[in-house]
Structures are given as C-alpha cells and as structure tokens.
C-alpha cells in the first residue's frame, strides 16, 4: 500500500534505490568547422554591385572592412533564401543523422553569438544533430554565401569563429566523448586545432573506437603536412577523393611520381599507420578500398542518370556521412562504402549539400 503522504513515498524510494540522472549519449561525434551556407538566386547586376564573378570563390580576409560582408545581411532578408548547416564535417554529421535518425550524432565546432549561429542550431535540430558549439562572443559565425545566377554560382566565404575552436571545449563536454562509439574528423579542422583532433584520437585509440579522418581538400596535404602527420597515427579509416590523394602523393612523395590510387593508399598505410584502412572516392569511377593488410578492392558507384543531378556540391561529405553511419551500425567495410555511395546519390539530387525531408 502506498503511503498517504506522497513525500514519504519518495523518501521510501530514495532509501531503496539509487536514482541516476539520464544522460543522452550520441554514438557518433564529429568535429569540424561550422559554416552557415546562405544560398539565394540573384541577378547579374547584384554580382556586379560587389565586383563578383560567376563560378568564382572569394574568401573574406578582413570581416570588419570588407564591404561584401553586407551580402549576408541582405540575403537573410530575401524571401527565397535557403539556409543549410554547412561546413564539410557538419554536412557529414547531417548525412549520418539522415541515415541513423535523430539523437545519434553530435557535432563540435566554434560559432559566434549571433543570428547566424541561431540559424545553424535550428538547421541541425531539424536534421537531428546535437550542436555542441563553442560560442565566441567576439567573432561572428562562419558563413558562405552562394549567389546563384542560372547555372552559375559565386561563393563568398567568411570563416569567422570557425577558426577559433579550443581543445578545452572538449574537456568541458567530455561526457559526450566518453559515450561516443566512433568519431569523424573533417580535414579542414587541421587548420584550426590539431591538438583537439589528437585529444579525440588518443581517447579513440585507448578505447578501441573507430576514428575516421577525411582529407577534405587538396591544400590540406599540401600546406598542413605537419598537422596531418600528427593525426594520421590515430586514424582507423582515412577518406579522400582522387584529387586529394594526388595532392598527398605530390606533397609527401615528391619526385616519385606515384599516381595510382591503390599505390598511394598503400604508401600511406606503410609509412604512417599500418592499422588504417584507406578509402579513395573517384567520382563516377569505382571507389578504391585498401585494407590495413594492403589487400585492395574496387567498389562500383551507384548509377544515376545525369538528368537527375541537381548539385554535386557536398557529394563527398554525403559519402562520408553514409560511411560513418555504417560504422555505427557495425556493418562491414564494403557495406559502409556502399551506404556512402547511396547517400551521395541522394544528395546530388538536392540543392546544396542537403538531404530530402523524411
């Protein structure tokens, strides 16, 4: 029989049981540079107003003085503007969430305390991604304006707060790290905080957790060699496309003229991490898989009629999203690659690095 006094009832429970507060755990934790992609249709006159060219990309170096910073405020006011939680690793996080469902993916990065970070939070929430942002109160959120004119686009990027992530933010949220099953690192973060990547890598290595690193861009192996060498020993899986693989070969093996993707992968494994698996995507060509024992395999991509391709931007991020989702689901390596290819096929039928609403 229950006590008449409800407080006495709770005291009885506390005497008999230890009540542990529930803590949400996220199997996949991603780390990267968050950017809000702001995409809108514009007329040629708008490009001319800011001295921009079609099919070009501009990186704003001084946000305080560059007049093109006004573009972001103007696009926010346009009714047809599309907002996407961008940045390569954040695209991958959303792709993995598309595969795994909500409350399965958490994402670390640095943003400003402004309306753009609020938009990022909303986009991630809709995608089912937990945002574990470090908030920088002095520097604005990184953002990329995609100005669409017909089939052409002009990109204007302000990296902003994304460049200011601190490893200490991981310490402050270490519960998420401890509860994670696997980690994904976008290569662009090598330009920001290699120490944060190493911190996660050591935890993954000590606890036998998958640790996936993506080269993300050719300039990473070209100009951030030391940072890349620091983190490669922790990788269980290394992802890159054919251009990034070629850049690695040219940068690390200059003069040897190694162009075959399988041979480049074997060199990476032999010289930098003998326990890693390397995956090189190659556009419509088969994906190259080289295992840690140096065995190789080619896996065909999913066919898609060219008339159905809307936007290939972010296809590599989508592949990585499907791949790491497969890791979380304990699928074998070939199934993980197949899942990545399937998600990339879905993504390129959407506008921007995005996925259909379920």
List pLDDT tens digits, range 249-287: 999 999 899 999 999 999 999 999 999 999 999 988 999
| Predicted local distance difference test score (pLDDT) of residue 311 | 61
Least confident of 1-10, 214-223, 292-301: 1-10
pLDDT (mean) for 317-321: 95
Confidence of residue 19 (pLDDT cuts 50, 70, 90): very low
In terms of Cα–Cα distance, which of 278, 241, 276 is closest to 262? Answer: 278
pLDDT (mean) for 318-343: 97
Look at residue 186 and give its three-state secondary structure.
strand
pLDDT at residue 197 tops 70: yes
Q: What percent of the chain has pLDDT over 70?
A: 91
Averaged pLDDT score across all residues of the chain: 89
Higher pLDDT, 146 or 55: 146
Read off φ and ψ for residue 157, nearest 5 degrees. -120, 135
Query: Which residue among the candidates 37, 114, 317, 338 is catalytic per the annotation?
Result: 317
| Predicted local distance difference test score (pLDDT) of residue 259 | 94
Q: pLDDT for 34-77, tens place per residue?
A: 998 888 889 999 999 999 988 777 778 788 899 999 999 999 89
| Predicted local distance difference test score (pLDDT) of residue 12 | 45
332 labelled catalytic: no
Confidence of residue 357 (pLDDT cuts 50, 70, 90): confident
pLDDT (mean) for 116-138: 93
| Predicted local distance difference test score (pLDDT) of residue 5 | 52
| Predicted local distance difference test score (pLDDT) of residue 64 | 85
Is 69:144 a contact under the CB 8 Å cutoff?
no
Q: What does the DSSP 8-state code read for residue 67?
A: G
Read off φ and ψ for residue 52, nearest 5 degrees. -110, 155
In terms of Cα–Cα distance, which of 192, 103, 97 is closest to 142? Answer: 192
Q: What percent of the chain has pLDDT over 90?
A: 67
> What are the distances in angstroms from CA 212 to CA 124, 232, 301, 312?
21, 10, 21, 22
Is 166:134 a contact under the CB 8 Å cutoff?
yes
Least confident of 89-93, 208-212, 217-221, 352-356: 352-356
In terms of Cα–Cα distance, which of 177, 178, 176, 194 is closest to 186? Answer: 194
| Predicted local distance difference test score (pLDDT) of residue 23 | 54
Residue with tokens 């662009």: 188
Confidence of residue 180 (pLDDT cuts 50, 70, 90): very high
| Predicted local distance difference test score (pLDDT) of residue 6 | 44
Pairing between strand 82-86 and 105-112? unpaired
pLDDT at residue 11 tops 50: no
């Amino acid at each position: 029989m229950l006590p008449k006094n409800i407080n006495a009832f709770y005291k009885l429970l506390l005497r008999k049981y230890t009540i542990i507060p529930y803590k949400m755990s996220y199997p996949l934790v991603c780390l990267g540079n968050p950017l809000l992609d702001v995409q809108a249709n514009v007329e040629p006159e708008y490009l001319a107003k800011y001295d921009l060219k079609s099919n070009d990309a501009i990186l704003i170096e001084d946000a305080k003085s560059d007049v093109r910073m006004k573009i972001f405020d103007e696009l926010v006011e346009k009714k047809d503007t599309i907002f996407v939680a961008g940045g390569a690793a954040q695209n991958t996080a959303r792709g993995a969430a598309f595969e795994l469902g909500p409350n399965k993916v958490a994402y670390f990065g640095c943003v400003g305390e402004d309306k753009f970070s609020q938009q990022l939070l909303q986009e991630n929430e809709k995608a089912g991604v937990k945002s574990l942002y470090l908030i920088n109160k002095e520097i604005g959120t990184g953002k990329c304006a995609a100005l669409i004119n017909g089939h052409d686009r002009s990109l204007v990027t302000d990296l902003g707060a994304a460049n200011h992530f601190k490893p200490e933010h991981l310490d402050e949220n270490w519960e998420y790290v401890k509860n994670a099953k696997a980690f994904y690192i976008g290569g662009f973060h090598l330009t920001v905080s290699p120490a944060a990547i190493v911190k996660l890598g050591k935890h993954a290595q000590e606890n036998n957790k998958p640790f996936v690193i993506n080269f993300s861009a050719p300039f990473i192996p070209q100009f951030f060699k030391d940072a890349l060498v620091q983190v490669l020993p922790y990788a269980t899986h290394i992802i890159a496309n054919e251009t990034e693989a070629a850049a690695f070969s040219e940068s690390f093996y200059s003069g040897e003229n190694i162009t075959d993707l399988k041979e480049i992968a074997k060199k990476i494994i032999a010289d930098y991490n003998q326990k890693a698996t390397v995956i090189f995507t190659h556009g419509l060509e088969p994906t190259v898989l080289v295992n840690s024992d140096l065995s190789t395999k080619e896996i065909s991509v999913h066919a898609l009629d060219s008339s159905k391709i809307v936007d290939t931007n972010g296809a590599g991020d989508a592949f990585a999203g499907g791949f790491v989702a497969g890791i979380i689901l304990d699928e074998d390596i070939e199934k993980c690659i197949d899942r990545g290819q399937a998600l990339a096929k879905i993504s390129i039928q959407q506008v921007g690095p995005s996925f259909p609403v379920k």
